[in-house]
Amino acid sequence: ETTIDRIAAGEVVERPASVAKELVENALDAGATRIEIVTAGGGKTLMRVSDDGSGIPADELPLAVRRHCTSKLPDEDIALVGTLGFRGEALPSIGSVAHLTLTSRRAGAGEAASITVANGRVGAVKPAALSKGTTVEVRDLFQAVPARLKFLKTDRAEGSAISEMVKRIAVAMPQVRFEIAGEDRTPTILPAASPIERIGAIVGEAFAADSIELDAEREGVRLGGFAGLPTFSRGNALHQFVTVNGRPVRDKMVLSALRAAYGDAMPRDRCPVAVLFLELDPALVDVNVHPAKADVRFRDPGLVRGLLIGAIRQALAREGL
């Protein structure tokens, strides 16, 4: 059983940043308005994600760390799930390759409770101290799996991958306050803000001030966000933030459509800077092709490509470009 869990863990947990992604998405699913991420040793020694979300009742803590247990499947139809997670794999997978402590307090509960999973061994539910929400502490990630530990980069590299991951999520969730802290980094605080303020904080104030707002719709697919003026080009695609129904994704088709939209307005070897929010009927997109990757599969990729190119070209044309 532990072996199966560890194989599953390989799917969900590749590195500390994937742990951060899963825990932050759980916090968002729980309706958190404040999320704090604390790391040590680039997230290998410690990653603690605290939220002020709905919390978990004490008697449901054992379920939360069990495989394929999820509270997020309203109607058996996986394609229509609106929340970020729904596989019930993250906590058990992390718990199989680390020392995980889940502490939670539901609003109105007399006290908090916690449960630990130490490299796959689930402990008993115990009373704990926590005023509100949920705190998940993950220590010694992959310590018991040397083969995986070996593939991790330096603390510094893993630490900045965590920041990048959290920022990719935060850019689409401006109403939520994020704080990334820890002895291994200088703290980043992203206060609750308007969408454009959040984009300024993450992508840069210059971009926020000098980009074009996008607002287009085609056959039920909505595109919002901001596209940089051609003068904002970069040498790589790291400054392209794309979300689909609130989830950060990395999709070749979207990025190539984005580049195509700029055409000759930008030198061949340059990449545009953009923040793109795509919203569409969850039945028309599969954002869970692979749990740890940010792949998406659109039912009609041509429609999305056409919408993107059309909207950005129109916006650039309006600026006389």
CB of 73 to ligand ADP, least distance (A): 8
CA 182 remoteness from chain centre:
19
Kindly state the smallest distance separating residue 207's Cβ from ligand ADP, in Å: 31
Please list every residue from 222 through 251 that binds Mg ion, using CB under 5 A: none
Work out whether 291 is an interface residue with Mg ion (CB under 5 A): no
Pick the binder of ligand ADP from 14, 62, 71, 233 (CB under 6 A): 71
Q: Which does 30 bind (CB under 5 to 8 A by kind): ligand ADP, Mg ion, none?
A: ligand ADP
Near Mg ion by CB under 5 A, which window of 26-34, 109-117, 126-134, 175-183? 26-34
Q: Which is nearer to Mg ion, 90 or 173 (CB)?
A: 90
DSSP state of 234: B
Residues of this chain, 10-39, that bind ligand ADP according to CB under 6 A: 22, 26-27, 30
Residue 71 touches which member of Mg ion, ligand ADP, none, C-beta under 5-8 Å by kind: ligand ADP
The sign of the dihedral angle between the CA atoms of 72, 92, 33, 243 is negative
> Which residues on adjacent β-strands are paired with residue 114?
103, 126
Could you tell which of ligand ADP, Mg ion, none binds residue 27, using a CB distance below 5 to 8 A set by kind? Answer: ligand ADP
- Residue from 33, 86, 200, 245 in contact with ligand ADP (CB under 6 A): 86
From the CB of 81, what's the least distance to ligand ADP, in Å? 9
Residues 136-175, one symbol each (x = binds Mg ion by CB under 5 A, - = not), give: ----------------------------------------
Instruction: Point out which span in 11-19, 56-64, 89-97, 132-140 binds Mg ion (CB under 5 A).
Output: 89-97
Stretch that binds Mg ion, among 18-26, 145-153, 186-194, 300-308 (CB under 5 A): 18-26
Q: Which does 72 bind (CB under 5 to 8 A by kind): ligand ADP, Mg ion, none?
A: ligand ADP
How far is residue 80's CA from residue 285's CA, in Å, rounded to a whole number?
A: 9
Report the relative pairing of strands 34-40 and 177-181 from DSSP bridges.
parallel
Q: Is 113 in the site for ligand ADP (CB under 6 A)?
A: no
Ordered DSSP codes for 147-195: HHHTT---HHHHHHHHHHHHHHHHTT-TTSEEEEE-TTS--EEE-S--H
Report how far residue 142's alpha carbon sits from residue 13's, in angstroms, rounded to the nearest whole number. Answer: 10
SS (H, E, C) 215-229: EEEECCEEEEEEEEC
Residues 94/6, Cβ–Cβ less than 8 Å: no
Query: What single DSSP character describes residue 131?
Result: S
Look at residues 130, 131, 135 and name the one whose alpha carbon lies nearest to residue 116. Answer: 135
CA 226 – CA 229 distance, rounded (Å):
10
From Mg ion, ligand ADP, none, interface partner of 35 (C-beta below 5 to 8 A by class): none
Should residue 26 be labelled a site residue for Mg ion when binding is judged by CB under 5 A?
Answer: yes
Name every residue whose Cβ is closer than 8 Å to that of residue 135 and which is 6 or more positions away in sequence: 48, 49, 50, 51, 101, 102, 103, 104
Select the residue interacting with ligand ADP from 20, 37, 47, 56 (CB under 6 A): 56
Helix axes 155-170, 16-29, angle to 10 degrees: 30
Q: Applying CB under 6 A, does 296 fall inside the site for ligand ADP? A: no
Q: Which residues bind ligand ADP (CB under 6 A)?
A: 22, 26-27, 30, 51, 53-56, 64, 70-72, 85-91, 134
Q: Which residues make up the interface to Mg ion (CB under 5 A)?
A: 26, 85, 90
